[in-house]
Amino acid sequence: MSGATARPPPVLSFKLLSVPATPFSPRLGLARLIRSSTEVIDVVTPGLFLHTSRGHVPHLSVDHISLMAKQMPWLHASFEGFLETLPPTPTLQPGPQPLHTFFGLPAASHIISLSLRDPADVQERPPDGDDYLSSMTIRGVRKIEPSFYRSYVSCVQPDIIIALSDIPFTLPPFSQKRMTKSIDRTIRWLGEILKSRPSMEITDNIRGNNIFVSLVGGTNAAARRAFSQNLLGPLEEGSNLSSVRPQTIPRLDDHISGYVLEMAQLRLELSASLSCGNDSSSTKEPTQAINQLLKASLSPLPADKLRVVHSSISPHEMLRLISLCGIDLFDSYWAQKAADWGIALDFSFPVSTSRDDTGPTRRSDGKRDVGHNLYHTGYAFDFRGLVGGPMHGCSCLACAPSFTKPIPHSSLEFVNDGCEEDAPAFTRAYIHHLLHTHEMSAHALLVSHNITVLQDFFAAIRSTLSADAPQFDTEVARFETEYDGDMRIIEEGRRAWEEVDCARGKGRLARERGTI
């Protein structure tokens, strides 16, 4: 692997801008990454960061991501996407900021966090062992030892490292013995990434990096609480690590910058527990159970550190987690998946009091969808923009397209700089047409739109908390009353996407001939 040029590691700090009434009340905060006196990146919370595949947002170019950097500079990547080759390709990138350079993202305007696994991927995989994790690659499963992961992150130098965690990816439910192993391994692997081994050549980089830890314990509240309490103590003398190096870590949490809560696997395990009825949480509603499990993890820990959630599934869940658990940052995964399935988000917070007939469909129970399923034939002749009512100011690529000036290729060409006009917004009918003809540009427009809507959503949340924090819970209740929390439109969009993909996608000719 290529060594990276020495450079002072970035420093991540987080401070609360408001005093929450309780450790789980909604709060305003500011995360700041300082690279140098001239390179400072701020992330306001509650806020949003981008979920990426191999370092890029599906359907968007690097230029598109750079345009979003001012409002949303934080991106998360998973390293297992590069493990099909050894050594992994990003480790061969030279320079002072290898991962930023490899992704094509300037370090002056972007924060990159890195985990081994994709937090949104819950496909079943072989169980982890005491000294390795099972990672899914396009060439199958690879066993990754903690020392390998540590050498990889030392080489590519992300801004934030998510420590390894032994979250089971076999079929739930899990036994108490399995949960105990999960806690012990995660604590030990955290210690290994906090302390350097004699065999490692690069030790300073890992100490300078900012470490986040996933809070494990599954659907067992006692196990989740026990894991968090272990973070407040020293690395146990009986661990493999302390026998290698004599120095100890008096308190693990002192070296941790934030806490990660992975919702996808927790939701899968909770669903199995609810169906089996073999867990104390099975008597509660799923939403209530999730809130109590997250509180069990967070209650023993300091309240002044970043709380990050991966793989939430709706704006309703985001609001509840902000209101009831004091979560600071969320990824954009669900909004990006909605774009994959032809959904153009169209909702507002706080809910508008004016009547609006241009918004999403209102269902028979009185709930309004959070967006438009543009696969639906009802949009074939709908020449309005993607948003209606108070969201008319959307600045995404679809609602406010902008075209660069013509580029002259010789002195003989004349470019009239004074003829620029604002381009009209792309209509629902146009994107409906793109979706049904299987055009890739449809998803590029929808991803940009959905992320922008979610950005505006969080800006409105921060504005509400800043102006009148006690009113926030009232606005959350109004939002849940107005919009469909079951997100039925997402499933409808997914089914429509499958139909179009079957008719227009890969293998279409063979299907039409009846050979497959």
Of the candidate ranges 37-51, 209-223, 388-402, 479-493, the one whose mean pLDDT is the lowest: 388-402
416 assigned to some structural domain: no
Question: What is the predicted pLDDT for the residue at 45?
Answer: 97
- Kindly report, residue by residue over 121-156, the tens digit of the pLDDT: 988 888 888 899 989 888 889 999 999 999 999 999
Question: What is the predicted pLDDT for the residue at 387?
Answer: 87
- Cα 331 to chain centroid, rounded: 3
- Kindly report, residue by residue over 182-224, the tens digit of the pLDDT: 999 999 999 888 875 333 333 444 444 589 999 999 889 999 9
Nearest CA-CA partner of 151 in 197, 118, 120, 85: 197
Range of the domain at 238: 11-331
Residues 477 and 394 in one domain: yes
As a whole number of angstroms, the distance between CA 329 and CA 307 comes to 6
H or E stretch including 442? helix 440-468
Number of residues that make up the chain: 516
- Kindly report, residue by residue over 437-470, the tens digit of the pLDDT: 999 999 999 999 999 999 999 999 999 999 988 8
Which of 301, 331, 361 corresponds to the end of one domain?
Answer: 331
pLDDT at 507 over 50: yes
Average pLDDT in the chain: 86
Q: Which residue has the tokens 């819950």?
A: 122
Nearest CA-CA partner of 294 in 281, 283, 279, 277: 281
Question: What is the predicted pLDDT for the residue at 163?
Answer: 95
Neighbours of 48 (CB within 10 A): 23
164 assigned to some structural domain: yes
pLDDT at 244 over 70: no
For residue 429, what pLDDT band results from cuts at 50, 70 and 90? very high
410 assigned to some structural domain: no
Residues 286 and 387 in one domain: no
Question: What is the predicted pLDDT for the residue at 276?
Answer: 60
As a whole number of angstroms, the distance between CA 474 and CA 483 comes to 14
What burial letters (b/e) apply to 103-122, b meaning 16+ CB within 10 Å? bebebeebbbbbbbbbbbeb
Question: What is the predicted pLDDT for the residue at 33?
Answer: 96
Please state the domain count of the chain: 2
With contact defined as beta carbons under 8 Å apart, do 279 and 220 qualify?
yes
Give alpha helix (H) positions in 18-171.
62-68, 98-103, 146-156
Pull the structure tokens for residue 262. Answer: 């992975």
Which of 288, 308, 331 corresponds to the end of one domain?
Answer: 331
Nearest CA-CA partner of 4 in 132, 108, 155: 155
Strands, E, within 5-102: which ranges? 11-16, 29-36, 39-45, 47-51, 74-78
For residue 286, what pLDDT band results from cuts at 50, 70 and 90? confident
Which of 308, 331, 354 corresponds to the end of one domain?
Answer: 331
Of the candidate ranges 62-76, 250-264, 314-328, 416-430, the one whose mean pLDDT is the lowest: 416-430
Residues 487 and 459 in one domain: yes
Burial group, residue 460, by CB count within 10 angstroms (0-12, 13-18, 19+): middle
Residues 354 and 277 in one domain: no
φ/ψ region of 342 (left if φ > 0, alpha if ψ in -120 to 50, else beta) reads left
Residues 298 and 247 in one domain: yes
Question: What is the predicted pLDDT for the residue at 283?
Answer: 38
1 assigned to some structural domain: no
Residues 205 and 179 in one domain: yes
Question: What is the predicted pLDDT for the residue at 307?
Answer: 98
Pull the structure tokens for residue 333. Answer: 């995964």
CA pseudo-torsion sign 377, 380, 381, 382:
positive
Domain CATH code at residue 310: 3.20.20.105
Residues 324 and 390 in one domain: no
**Mean pLDDT across 222-237:** 88
Residues 264 and 360 in one domain: no
CA distances to 40, 209, 264, 381 from 34, rounded to whole Å, are 5, 12, 31, 50
Question: What is the predicted pLDDT for the residue at 277?
Answer: 56
Residues 115 and 75 in one domain: yes
**Mean pLDDT across 25-29:** 96
Question: What is the predicted pLDDT for the residue at 421?
Answer: 55
Of the candidate ranges 268-282, 289-303, 365-379, the one whose mean pLDDT is the lowest: 268-282
As a whole number of angstroms, the distance between CA 348 and CA 245 comes to 55
pLDDT at 515 over 90: no
Residues 264 and 368 in one domain: no
Of the candidate ranges 6-15, 32-41, 274-283, the one whose mean pLDDT is the lowest: 274-283
Residues 104 and 177 in one domain: yes
Residues 364 and 320 in one domain: no
**Mean pLDDT across 477-491:** 94
Burial group, residue 58, by CB count within 10 angstroms (0-12, 13-18, 19+): middle
Residue 309 has φ and ψ, to the nearest 5°, of -115, 130
Of the candidate ranges 7-16, 77-86, 334-343, 408-417, the one whose mean pLDDT is the lowest: 408-417
